[in-house]
A and B are shown apart, each in its own frame.
Chain A
């Protein structure tokens, strides 16, 4: 089965930059998305098509891609950004949807 890899946790100081990577052997050819999930809440889409930010998502959230790795960057991280973040891949050819294991972002 297809798998995505994320670091279990990332720590960042308020105002600094947090980067979360997601790796998978198809990511160079298929789209990836990112979701933020705060405790007890439903996931919220923060990036889709690797780099596109939905309306209403703060500009400090950005996405990038390089080879088989996609990265979510949170610039000027705020305490409200403390959450779990999941990457998700979509292969339109196979109707494959898969989530990464998630990364817990802690704002110290």
Chain B
């Protein structure tokens, strides 16, 4: 069964850092680039970042560029999102998503990040 499981969400103060994770199972993780998508409370979906299958190429939304960093460990089937200088408008549910022909065919259940003092 293809599955993505996010973890690491928490309540953090503005300006602090947080690292969230996504563990994949049921498919060959090392063959796929992976994405993070977030959803602020009551708002729509926002694409956040992409990392290539080998971890070499990374792309970020302008809203997080310079603050968020993607990495992955293919030996652990895990992708990470290091979030620095967090702001209240980063408050969201963060989903990891597997791409397939330009779409996101598998989503995790999400991990909630709240930035508040």
Contact = CB atoms under 8 A, between A and B. Distances in A.
Nearest to A91: B102
Contacts of A84: 44
B27 interface: no
Contacts of A54: 105
Given A42-B109, A97-B35, A102 B45 contact: yes
A42 B110 contact: yes
In which size bucket is the chain B interface?
20 to 34
Given A31-B102, A42-B110, A95 B59 contact: yes
Nearest to A86: B45
Size bin of chain A's contact surface: 20 to 34
Contact of A45 (B62, B95, B104): B104
Contacts of A44: 107
Contact of B44 (A92, A95, A99): A99
Interface residues of chain A: helix, strand, loop or mixed (majority): strand
A88 B104 contact: yes
Nearest to A49: B101
Given A31-B101, A102-B44, 18 more contacts: A1-B62, A33-B102, A33-B103, A35-B104, A43-B45, A43-B104, A48-B100, A48-B101, A48-B105, A54-B105, A86-B45, A90-B103, A92-B102, A97-B47, A99-B37, A99-B45, A99-B47, A101-B44
Interface of A: 1, 30-31, 33, 35, 37, 42-45, 48-49, 54, 84, 86, 88, 90, 92, 95, 97-102
The 10 closest A-B pairs by CB, nearest first: A90-B102, A48-B103, A33-B103, A97-B47, A42-B107, A102-B44, A99-B45, A31-B102, A45-B105, A101-B44
